């Protein structure tokens, strides 16, 4: 969270009376009789700071927010982009607004609407995990914000310590990892060939190559270490070259009615003789590499981020 965004959230904290957690910039506390939390909206790993999401852990004996009702609520209020209830968590997401004053005014207005709606429908604060109607506190749990009762908070932290220990004890199997990555990258090769034979050089095949290779390593290697990621990257580079050349070989073997092995071997010769046009060969290869890169970078960043967040738990201050 940069300084400007932080100031916007601080301003919102002042006008709502909520506390701001200095570490994360997230707001939490009591508003209109409800314990709630305001955090930036996160979608597919991206954080949208100017799109605030209000969440309340609450349940009602007489009411359950349906999808249709959530849609109707949104339709009535032009600043709301999403309203839903899922596993005792009600989430109200607002539309993007970059002007700090407007951001605060709209959020306060929607907070009022939300809390009166909750009251009207008989909602009471509860623990997000066990559903007990009791005093809760806001926690950061492995990349998510939760409102937990003291018992659940303690359980969650104990479990996190345990799973971290298990993770540390778990040994990476290098051989298994390499076999898994190899099998995964073969799936990637297959997708390059199939999609290309259908007439596409698709970004999808690059993404599949990256995900299949990394997941293959993790599945058979038990654990994906940084060393594993490097091995996967090398494999991806080699197998993408192999896949692309095999794709040309299929073309050559069909065109000249020769076996696929011979066709594969003769690709460099055909290139130097100009039978395969060099610019289209290398251009095609570069494009496939670009797509692998587009698939691999977000996947690897996601893995690293999840690893960093896993088992990270603290109470918001």
Shortest spacing between CB 313 and Zn ion, in angstroms: 14
DSSP H helical ranges for 170-314: 174-197, 203-221, 226-256, 260-265, 267-272, 278-309
User: Which of 38/127 has CB closer to Zn ion?
Assistant: 127
Smallest distance from Zn ion to CB 131, Å: 7
Q: Which two tokens stand for residue 215?
A: 């997941």
| 129 contributes a contact to Zn ion by CB under 5 A | yes
Q: Does 133 sit near Zn ion (CB under 5 A)?
A: no
Buried b (16+ CB within 10 A) or exposed e, 43-68: eeeeeebbbbbbbbbbbbeeeebeee
CB nearer to Zn ion: give 59 or 270. 59
Q: What would the x/- binding string for Zn ion be over residues 218 to 257, using CB under 5 A?
A: ----------------------------------------
Q: What are phi and psi of 236, to 5 degrees?
A: -60, -45
Closest distance to Zn ion from the beta carbon of 149 (Å): 3
Nearest C-alpha neighbor of 146 from the set 253, 26, 267? 26
Assigned token pair, 64: 């359950």
Q: How far apart are CA 159 and CA 142, in angstroms?
A: 12
What is the residue whose two structure tokens read 């005014």?
105
Q: Is 57 in the site for Zn ion (CB under 5 A)?
A: no
Q: Total residues contacting Zn ion (rule CB under 5 A)?
A: 5
* 11-40: contacts with Zn ion (CB under 5 A): none
Which residues from 139-198 bind Zn ion, rule CB under 5 A? 149, 152
Nearer of residues 27 and 129 to Zn ion, judged by Cβ: 129
Give least dist CB 155 to Zn ion, A: 8
CA dist., res. 79 & res. 209, Å (int): 41
Cβ closer to Zn ion: 152 or 252? 152
The nearest distance, CB 312 to Zn ion, in angstroms, is 20
Select 65 or 156, whichever has its Cβ closest to Zn ion: 156
Please report where in the chains the tokens 């707001």 appear, as a residue.
27
User: What is the C-alpha separation between 2 and 16, in angstroms, rounded?
Assistant: 21
Residues 6+ apart with CB under 8 A from 165: none
**Minimum separation from the CB atom of position 145 to Zn ion (A):** 15
Residue 91 and residue 58: Cα distance in Å, rounded?
Answer: 10
- Residue among 149 and 192 whose Cβ is closer to Zn ion: 149
130 in contact with Zn ion (CB under 5 A): yes
Tell me the closest approach of the beta carbon of residue 147 to Zn ion, in angstroms: 9
Summarize as ranges the residues that interact with Zn ion (CB under 5 A).
Answer: 127, 129-130, 149, 152
């Amino acid at each position: 969270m940069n300084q400007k965004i932080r100031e916007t959230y601080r301003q919102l904290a002042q006008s709502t009376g909520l506390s701001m957690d200095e570490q994360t910039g997230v707001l939490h506390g009591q508003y209109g009789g409800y314990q709630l939390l305001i955090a930036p909206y996160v979608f597919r790993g991206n954080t949208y700071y100017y799109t605030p999401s209000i969440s309340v852990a609450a349940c009602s004996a007489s009411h359950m927010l349906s999808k249709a009702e959530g849609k109707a609520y949104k339709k009535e209020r032009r600043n709301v982009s999403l309203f839903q209830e899922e596993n005792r968590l009600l989430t109200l997401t607002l539309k993007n607004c970059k002007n700090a004053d407007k951001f605060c005014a709209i959020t306060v207005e929607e907070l009022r609407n939300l809390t009166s709606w909750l009251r009207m429908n008989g909602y009471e604060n509860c623990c997000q995990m066990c559903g007990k109607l009791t005093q809760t506190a806001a926690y950061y749990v492995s990349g998510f914000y939760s409102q937990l009762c003291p018992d659940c908070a303690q359980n969650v932290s104990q479990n996190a310590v345990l799973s971290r220990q298990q993770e540390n004890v778990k040994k990476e199997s290098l051989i298994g990892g390499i076999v898994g990555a190899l099998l995964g990258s073969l799936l990637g090769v297959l997708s390059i060939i199939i999609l290309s034979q259908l007439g596409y050089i698709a970004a999808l095949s690059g993404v599949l190559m990256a995900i299949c290779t990394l997941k293959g390593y993790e599945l058979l290697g038990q654990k994906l270490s940084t060393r594993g990621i490097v091995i996967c990257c090398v494999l991806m580079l080699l197998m993408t070259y192999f896949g692309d050349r095999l794709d040309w070989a299929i073309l050559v073997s069909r065109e000249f009615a020769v076996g696929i092995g011979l066709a594969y071997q003769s690709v460099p010769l055909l290139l130097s003789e100009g039978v395969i046009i060099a610019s289209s060969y290398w251009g095609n290869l570069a494009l496939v590499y670009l797509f692998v890169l587009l698939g691999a970078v977000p996947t690897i960043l996601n893995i690293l981020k999840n690893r960093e967040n896993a088992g990270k738990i603290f109470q918001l201050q």
